[in-house]
Amino acid sequence: MLQSDVSFPHEPVSRDTLLEAAVAASREAGALLLEYADAGFRIEYKNPVNLVTDADHAAEQCVIDRIKARFPAHRFLAEEQGRLEEAQSPYLWIIDPLDGTTNFAHGYPAYCVSIGLEYEGRCVLGAIFDPSRNELFTAIEHRGAWLNGRPIHVSSTMTLDRSLLVTGFAYDIRETPRNNLNHFSSFALKAQGLRRTGSAALDLCYVAAGRFDGFWEVRLHPWDMAAGSVIVREAGGRLSNFSGNDLSIYGQELVATNGQIHEAMLAVLNQENP
Ligand code: IPD
Ligand code: CA
Ligand code: CA
């Protein structure tokens, strides 16, 4: 049966129902990841630094199966399987079944399941579950962002030298001149602290929760950003590409901040000879 939502009456399915499906799938896939972490997993190498495990595949299948069972006509874009059949639905689920695979493979407990949803091409909700800490980050467009059901908000830090920043490096770091090392050294000299956690989706959640003040990365994928971008926006943060234009999750570059330090970060990212 179709349900409408008081806040979005034109949409065929209530956003609460959709978020509830994303949350259930992320929790189930997260539990599966912990089982694999405990029991052992197989690793395949896409290149020397880019790996994938059977836990990635199993978690992805779990998320797709669960969501498809409830919304069989919806479309899917998932990291390991790519775009599934091209239906006509206005809904597109964007899934990273295991963000932080390198951490996972080393037993470093900083990884998550990330599930975002586009409606008519706009990211409208997201659920990101960190099974090691039992932390569930969620957001619905225009309704807010939550950590384990409690509202979260970005930090109020005003300057870079009081900021804790985070970044990441893409798997082609050894081949591309856009390897982010120039920006990494610039920010290392300007920020209070700089981290590389290995999970872009959690980096976004931590900006939303005020744990980090800013995050940038050069070559991300839509599944790294879809859910987290809604969570940051709904927590009061600002998102853009390096030119300061609105973020596109299909555009690779991302800057996500508390808003206060956004211009200062853009200035560093755009300086002539960093
Ligand atoms: C990676 C992580 C990492 C980021 C990479 C991503 P994966 O995703 O989010 O933090 O720096 O760019 O590809 O491969 O672990 O899902
Ligand atoms: Ca990822
Ligand atoms: Ca992944």
Instruction: Please give the pLDDT value at position 84.
Output: 87
Q: Ligand 1: which residues within 6 Å by Cβ?
A: 96, 99-101, 168-170, 198-200, 217, 220, 224
- What pLDDT, on the 0 to 100 scale, is given for residue 153? 98
Residue 250 to residue 271: CA distance in whole angstroms: 24
pLDDT at 2: 40
Answering whether pTM is above 0.85, one says yes
Burial 154-183 (b: 16+ CB within 10 A, else e): bbebeebeebbbbbbbbeebeeeeebbeeb
In the chain, the domains with their CATH numbers are 3-151 (3.30.540.10), 160-269 (3.40.190.80)
- pLDDT reported for residue 7: 63
| Nearest ligand 1 atom, CA 201 | 9
Q: What is the mean pLDDT of each run of 10 residues along the chain (274 residues)?
A: 54 93 98 96 88 96 97 95 84 98 97 98 98 98 98 98 96 88 96 98 98 97 98 98 97 97 97 65
pLDDT of residue 108: 98
Shortest-distance atom of ligand 1 to CA 197: 10
pLDDT at 138: 98
Q: What is the model's pLDDT at position 172?
A: 87
**Contacts by 63-70, CB closer than 8 A, 24 or more apart:** 63/25, 63/26, 63/28, 63/29, 63/95, 63/97, 63/113, 63/115, 64/93, 64/95, 66/21, 66/24, 66/25, 66/28, 67/21, 67/22, 67/25, 67/93, 67/115, 70/21
